Structure 1
């Protein structure tokens, strides 16, 4: 049987808003527990109210980063008279998240430092320069971290885009080379076959040629013409970068149905997210899926194959699981199909893993970056 996804997979399948809500609830509970452990003088109800108020804006930090950070900071100011309550850490985290999502560092710095200075006056009434310096440095820190993470994210995006462009260029060059080789070799021979068959039919008199031989020559001529047309069509696809792609949902479903058999059905699960796929990733993912399912159905002796396709702004994930025969991973990796899938995934900047399943069977997992970071 196919294994059910683990806790990490279940967490990643949650909507971003749901994940943020869970984190907000956990943060609120942690604030209350920490305050009670430190012996806070305030009542548990007040601590719960303040903690929930400080953590609740985190649910909206993706859509409204700056307002969410200000709202959390405002709630923390209300609890400034409780020294054992660590609500300001939540507000600092909110400013860090806001700086990560909004490219306005000066505004974030002013708000973060200003809020901490107000908190300093309300909570402790400072009388020294050191206290002000500490507040300024503390206000700079979350914004600096968030900005650094945002810059790193943008750099990673650019690197993935450049890698994909380079991979697409290399693939196009390889396609052009293969097209030239096929045209010069196969195309030449098919043309020669047609010419020889046509010449034989032309020089031989009908009364001297047995009907079977005449029909055979006509069949050879027709098959050569058909094969030459198919080769030219394939070469056009290679040169122009066309072909089947995972962006075609109907085509993917048709592929899965075509490869499945009565003895080994193939089930498809698609997350149905309308995420645009780069052309090279869509075509490469289709070929990886085609090869993985073909191997499972025809060569693994499986009775059940399941396909999962996950589309996200950051990556395309393909998983093909079967319950077929188990063998040495090294032996499996030696096959041309697995090697070809791995090379195709690496050319697109992705990864491909082949792992054994319990009690038997295999899982082929490919992750192909799509050029955007996680929001």
Structure 2
């Protein structure tokens, strides 16, 4: 399907060039059909390379376009070359400086071939033909990157909300079902002691009730422990990937690690990841920070997680939202502490201290 679209693009551009040439050159003898169609096709074919070799395709289109200037009057092949340079900036991973230099050189050479005097070939022409395609391609590329970053932030926010809902459900079930199961076991044990073997049938029934309630309580706790974890089992090993997803053209996220590289308890590893994820999401949503620094410092009996950005603290909400409350609950479950607030005159800091010798309560 993609190949068909590419072929249709080349055929459509070629047909458009032929029609524009005939329209612009009406009243004068038209060029030979084979030359006109061949030149239009050759200047359009490099568009097929715009995704894999964008700058190479633009240069090839420029060479063909320059060749057609001398014997094809009123031929708008340069429009295709301008589009090729625009696509080169859009699809290249590197900056637009090299493309701008090549495009400016192409404009100057085309002016020399056309024999335009310097007084006619003004700076305006140079800007329109040389700078405008590059500027347009770069603007479209920035728009694409910002749209992709917005999508990544939305997905991260959806993951965070899902994790918070799972944690809230686990807490509710623990507080309700766990309490009732404990009460059932306690009542059965107390009744068994009060009867003191007066009825063997009742003693066996009460003993069975106590044992079953204890087994159910253990199973509920195990299920709740699994429910608190993310579906993907996310941990600090995925932190670099998370930072790359949330980085963009106007925001840079860096990760720094220090201390011994020893395995962490699963609960601490997952909690640290969720704290960083929430802090980065808040920095993207509520801050204009250009840089976010994530620091992981491993000490003998604790892990210190710090997320600092350089945005203005004044734009942050003064009241704690669901995200910060969720971080406090997560950190509290592993026996840690959390501090959230401004980091000097500029910046916002999230700092969590997580003991590495404890698991969830």
**TM-score, normalised with respect to structure 2:** 0.55
Q: Which position in structure 2 is the counterpart of 1:133? A: 123
Q: CA deviation at 1:65?
A: 0.7
Structure 2 Cα separation of the partners of residues 26 and 229 of structure 1 = 69
The equivalent of 2:38 in structure 1 is 49
Deviation for aligned residue 1:97: 0.7
Question: Mapping of 1:1-375 within 5 angstroms?
Answer: 14-15=1-2, 17-38=3-24, 39=26, 41-80=30-69, 81-102=71-92, 103-123=94-114, 125-137=115-127, 138-200=129-191, 204=195, 208=199, 210=201, 214=204, 218=208, 220-221=209-210, 224-225=213-214, 227-242=216-231
| Cα pair distance change 1:57/1:238, threshold 3 Å | same
Q: Which structure has the larger Rg over C-alpha atoms?
A: 2
Offset of 1:35 from its aligned partner? 2.6
Offset of residue 93 of structure 1: 0.6
Note the aligned Cα RMSD (angstroms).
3.1
Is the 1:73–1:115 contact (alpha carbons within 8 Å) kept by the matching residues of 2? yes
Q: CA deviation at 1:207?
A: 7.4
1:284-312 C-alpha deviation (Å, 9 max, x unpaired): xxxxxxxxxxxxxxxxxxxxxxxxxxxxx
Relative contact order (C-alpha < 8 Å, sep 6+): which is higher?
Answer: 1
| Cα distance change on mapping 1:35 and 1:224 into 2, 3 Å | farther
1:35–1:85 contact (8 Å) kept in structure 2 = yes
Q: What's the offset of the Cα at 1:67? A: 0.3
Aligned to 1:363: none
Report the Cα offset of residue 243 of structure 1.
6.0
Structure 1 36/237 Cα, relative in aligned 2: closer, same or farther at 3 Å?
farther
> Which secondary structure does the structure 2 equivalent of 1:241 belong to?
coil
Distance (whole Å) between structure 2 residues aligned to residue 22 and residue 230 of structure 1: 62
Change (3 A) 1:41 1:238: same
Tell me the secondary structure at the aligned position of residue 121 of structure 2. helix
| Cα distance in 1, alignment partners of residues 110 and 174 from structure 2 | 76
Is the contact made by 2:192 and 2:206 (CA closer than 8 Å) also made in structure 1? no
Corresponding residue number in structure 2 for 1:251: none
* Separation of aligned partners in 2, 1:214 and 1:27: 88
- Superposed displacement of residue 92, structure 1: 0.6
For residues 220 and 35 of structure 2, what CA distance do their matches in structure 1 show?
76
What does the per-residue CA deviation read over 1:192-247, in whole Å, with 9 as the maximum and x for residues that have no partner? 22333444456557773558x956973x55654454344323322332213699xx
Checking the alignment, whether the CA contact within 8 Å between 1:113 and 1:135 is kept in structure 2 is: no
Return the alpha-carbon distance in structure 1 between the equivalents of residues 59 and 155 of structure 2: 39
> Does the C-alpha gap of structure 1 residues 185 and 49 become closer, same or farther in structure 2, counting only changes over 3 Å?
same
8 A contact 1:41–1:82 mirrored in 2: no
Aligned to 1:41, the other structure's residue is in SS state coil
- Unaligned 5+ runs, structure 2: 235-240, 243-361
Q: Is the 8 A contact 2:36 2:72 kept in 1?
A: no
Question: Does the Cα contact within 8 Å between 1:24 and 1:58 map onto a contact in 2?
Answer: yes
